[in-house]
Amino acid sequence: MRLEYPTNVKIILVPCSGKVDVLHLMRAIQKGADGVYVVGCLEGTCHYNEGNYRARERVEHVRTLMEEVGLEPERVRMYNLSSGEGPTFAAYAKEMTENIKELGPNPLKDKG
């Protein structure tokens, strides 16, 4: 569908959102990413039954940790969509980018 979205989004492939580790999300923030989000399948449609629920839990956990250390939890998010939803993917990429832009750069940048 070739829908445009911001170039600052780069995708890392995992077999299931349930594979995404708290450490991976934290690592991205620590290394200076302004934001990181996990895109999983729609809830209830996980090929592995419950991977996307677990991903959501972990994202929530990371958000709590972020808050604890004084970082904006909004830098980490979970989105759900199906593979047929290109327009939604692009919309989420834009939304995330805009939200992050409002927050400004990750204070950890160049310190990691």
Footprint of another protein (CB under 8 A)? 1-5, 7, 10-16, 18-24, 27-28, 31-33, 47-51, 54, 58, 83-88, 90, 112
Residue 7 backbone phi and psi in degrees, to 5 = -75, -15
Closest approach of another protein to the CB of residue 77, in Å: 16
- Would you call 102 helix, strand, or coil by DSSP? helix
Closest approach of another protein to the CB of residue 67, in Å: 21
Q: How far is CA 110 from each of CA 43, 45, 68, rounded to the nearest angstrom?
A: 36, 39, 21
Closest approach of another protein to the CB of residue 55, in Å: 8
Q: Which residue has 């990181």 as its token pair? A: 36
Half-sphere exposure of 104 (CA within 13 A, CB side): 3
